[in-house]
Structure 1
């Protein structure tokens, strides 16, 4: 079989592999990029990207993983992250640098990243964080033509590495709790779909008419969210004892650790382990199940469309199925 230009075939251990001659040289040797199987759907796209990259005649200087990370951390994309996000990214970027200290980034393949990712499977949360951070780095690199494709594309995150939505009976109990602080926190987290830190920072002055303005610390986004009627009713019960909305019985601002403790203790007393961030997923699921579009849902949560689609996987299958059949029946 005649191979496409710059492609060579290698047989090893009874299997056939295909490599693309990138036109680059490292340590006096040609640099080859691994290609998908010749008969696979992915081959054409990967080959076209590598060919285009070679034909543009870029410098033969190779960028290795540590250098790419350094360039990324000097970029506006990285500098625009919140301090908390930078701290988290740095952990995983150092991990990537340690695992691939000499790898030319143009040679890193999906198989390479899958192998690293699978090696972290015992700690799903850390593995998923590593994958997300690496993907962000490589997406930035692809846009600047340091590499032909993002090797993290097509690798699914591990289950169990993210926060689960609150069970409905726990959510209902918290929304009607005698503990006013638990009730307030639950209403704000659920009906704004925001992170705990952003909720605790909300001030009474952020409310204007039927809307509340949210300034997300992680993304820097400013969202103007229409308040759900149940949230407005709950806020109407509160005495405006301070600048921020979330204050304790003595009028002092509630801190992150205290808020987490009260919410988790409330759920634990009912036999359930939860985290406040789970309510963010409850909010996204509720919006989607109310027939809101992904774009409409993202306008509330401030998430990317891709993240909303990811959260959408947790929707109740039976509820969606019932809705689908009822619509079908109504149309018939």
Structure 2
């Protein structure tokens, strides 16, 4: 999760100089007062920051019953955080849910659930028309939480049930074309960190969260081991020559192939922002790290690879999702292959007797 920053520092954070003249980051808000590592970037800091935010949530949950109004959204949040449904989520999902819930609580936490009507939910979501994706995420989470309230007898009906979000009129992340890949490589030639990043993304077909943890310890012979952060899928990926050439000269004392300017591993969000700048430098503002994962799938589809083969590389378990990734495959080239398969191979007829012309009699 990328911290929201003000004056260069995330929320609740300030820069302090301790008695040893050492710079430190202080995280301070009601219920939590702690210090985080300096500088305020990189995986170590963001992990500590996420833990501090979790402490805010835990503090609210611990005293929430005493300070919240019974039947309010605040009380619902406290109850939901303690529920098996929430506790069973992945840590990354918990952080995302907490961020959405806490932002909503700041404005609506004291309101009573019994007063919430369907038209109120529709109005809340409608007011976020300029942020349709954020509105849809909030609506989905409200449905989950209000269902929790319904199950616990707090409300008689879920007012968010049946409320529709904004239609998804997007194809998702843009799939890089081969021309765009060439343009990026022209701006960021071999030997640069920017080129290494593209190589890792394209020639492993993995997400940014998986690429940022790749390092020498993941290399096993001709393969690189991947345990996907999002799905826990475990993959052994054959390393193409372009990939082995790109990492051959990298130092072996670093925990990961890609590191920040401070020598620390990137966080997924930090890497995404850094890679966005590299794309902008190449004149590719519409391209992204995830678009290279889709480009890899596109190339496999254009190469005639089956859905099962593509799944083995990307780690997907659903062919339907693979079809989303391969939607940008060259339709004309694939159609040509399909039509040639329909035609089949012509069989030439070998005959000792020449074919008779129409109308020719047997004795002629």
- TM-score where L is the length of structure 2: 0.53
* CA RMSD, Structure 1 to Structure 2 (Å): 4.9
Q: How does 1:1-332 map to 2 (within 5 A)?
A: 70-94=78-102, 98=108, 116-131=124-139, 133-134=141-142, 151=161, 157-159=167-169, 163-174=173-184, 177-217=189-229, 219=230, 221-235=232-246, 237-247=248-258, 252-256=263-267, 259-260=271-272, 263-273=275-285, 274-290=287-303, 297-302=310-315, 305=318, 308=321, 311-312=324-325, 315-316=327-328, 319-332=330-343
**Contact 1:200–1:255 under 8 Å retained in 2:** yes
Query: In 2 relative to 1, CA 321–65 (structure 1 residues): closer, same or farther, beyond 3 Å?
Result: farther
Query: In 2 relative to 1, CA 327–155 (structure 1 residues): closer, same or farther, beyond 3 Å?
Result: farther
**Contact 2:260–2:266 under 8 Å retained in 1:** no
> Relative to structure 2, which stretch is displaced further, 70-79 or 182-191?
70-79
Query: In 2 relative to 1, CA 322–179 (structure 1 residues): closer, same or farther, beyond 3 Å?
Result: same
Query: In 2 relative to 1, CA 127–323 (structure 1 residues): closer, same or farther, beyond 3 Å?
Result: same
CA–CA separation in structure 1 for the residues paired with 2:139 and 2:130: 14
Counterpart secondary structure, 2:289: coil
Q: In the TM superposition, what is the alpha-carbon distance from 1:204 to its structure 2 partner?
A: 1.0
Q: In the TM superposition, what is the alpha-carbon distance from 1:327 to its structure 2 partner?
A: 0.6
**Contact 1:108–1:151 under 8 Å retained in 2:** no
Query: In 2 relative to 1, CA 288–322 (structure 1 residues): closer, same or farther, beyond 3 Å?
Result: closer
Q: Who is 2:355 aligned against?
A: none
Query: In 2 relative to 1, CA 253–71 (structure 1 residues): closer, same or farther, beyond 3 Å?
Result: same
Q: In the TM superposition, what is the alpha-carbon distance from 1:208 to its structure 2 partner?
A: 1.5
Aligned residues: 265
Larger radius of gyration: 2
**Contact 2:279–2:288 under 8 Å retained in 1:** no
**Contact 1:175–1:187 under 8 Å retained in 2:** no
**Contact 2:223–2:239 under 8 Å retained in 1:** no
**Contact 2:311–2:317 under 8 Å retained in 1:** yes
Q: In the TM superposition, what is the alpha-carbon distance from 1:229 to its structure 2 partner?
A: 1.7
Structure 2: gaps of 5 or more residues: 1-70, 344-364
Q: In the TM superposition, what is the alpha-carbon distance from 1:315 to its structure 2 partner?
A: 2.2
Query: In 2 relative to 1, CA 144–87 (structure 1 residues): closer, same or farther, beyond 3 Å?
Result: same
Query: In 2 relative to 1, CA 243–129 (structure 1 residues): closer, same or farther, beyond 3 Å?
Result: same
Q: Who is 1:31 aligned against?
A: none
Query: In 2 relative to 1, CA 144–182 (structure 1 residues): closer, same or farther, beyond 3 Å?
Result: farther
**Contact 1:206–1:212 under 8 Å retained in 2:** yes
Q: In the TM superposition, what is the alpha-carbon distance from 1:93 to its structure 2 partner?
A: 3.4
